[in-house]
Amino acid sequence: MTGSTSPALASAHDVELAALAAAGSRPAFGELVRRHSSAVRGLLRRMGADAALADDLAQDAFLAGFEQVADFRGEGAFQGWIKRIAARLYVRRLRKDARVDLMSETPEPHPPHAGEGAAADRIDLDEALKMLSAAERVCISLCYGAGLSHAEVAEALNAPLGTVKSHVKRGLDKLKQRLAPVGRGEDEDQVAGRPVHG
């Protein structure tokens, strides 16, 4: 596995590459890493990991993926499969470090809407996710970023299903407000009697 890749591998489908990797082809797995590393690293950062931790865990996820690649049958997308491995690694780390009380129903304090009304911010998912509590952020990322069902998230977090659902609901409400189209957000602000900034 080097910086470059052969044309045959570059044009191969993920399922073919995974089959080759399962047979021990490291260049094939390298191509999969090249294709999907950004998605995995991005997901981990969106879940709340800092850059260094996200990169470490993404590497761990790919190493684990190489060990388990024979289990990938191609029923879903490879990216979803490897993202789920990475997400579960991050959740395990959170639980180990006990940094987030994922059982907590109480919303954690979060920064106010910085730059409310700024059009550019409204479409930035990464900025919007920062407005959520850690638990909401993890639950939303697991559901929409890693493609886990509410029940799977509850199992991964070892939290009651109802708690997960309420974190997702609250997170969605906040994101909806934050990511609303400019016009709609301003209208809502005006209806609510709030001043609309710049």
**Min CB(98)–another protein separation in Å:** 26
Whole-angstrom distance, CA of residue 57 vs CA of residue 42 = 11
Q: Does 10 bind another protein (CB under 8 A)?
A: no
What would the 3-class secondary structure string for 63-93 be?
HHHHHHHHHCCCCCCHHHHHHHHHHHHHHHH
Q: Is 153 in the site for another protein (CB under 8 A)?
A: no
Residue owning tokens 């780390």: 93
d(CA 138, CA 126): 13
Which helix (H) or strand (E) element contains residue 61?
Answer: helix 51-68
| CA pair distance 37, 11, nearest whole angstrom | 17
Question: What mask of x and - would describe binding to another protein in positions 81 to 120, judged by CB under 8 A?
Answer: ----------------------------------------
User: Using CB under 8 A as the criterion, what x/- string covers residues 166-185 for binding another protein?
Assistant: ------x--xx--x------
Neighbours of 63 (CB within 10 A): 12
Binding mask 45-84 for another protein (x = CB under 8 A): xx--------x--xx--xx--x------------------
Give contact residues for another protein (rule: CB under 8 A). Answer: 1-3, 26, 29-30, 33-34, 37-39, 41-43, 45-46, 55, 58-59, 62-63, 66, 125-126, 140-141, 144-145, 172, 175-176, 179
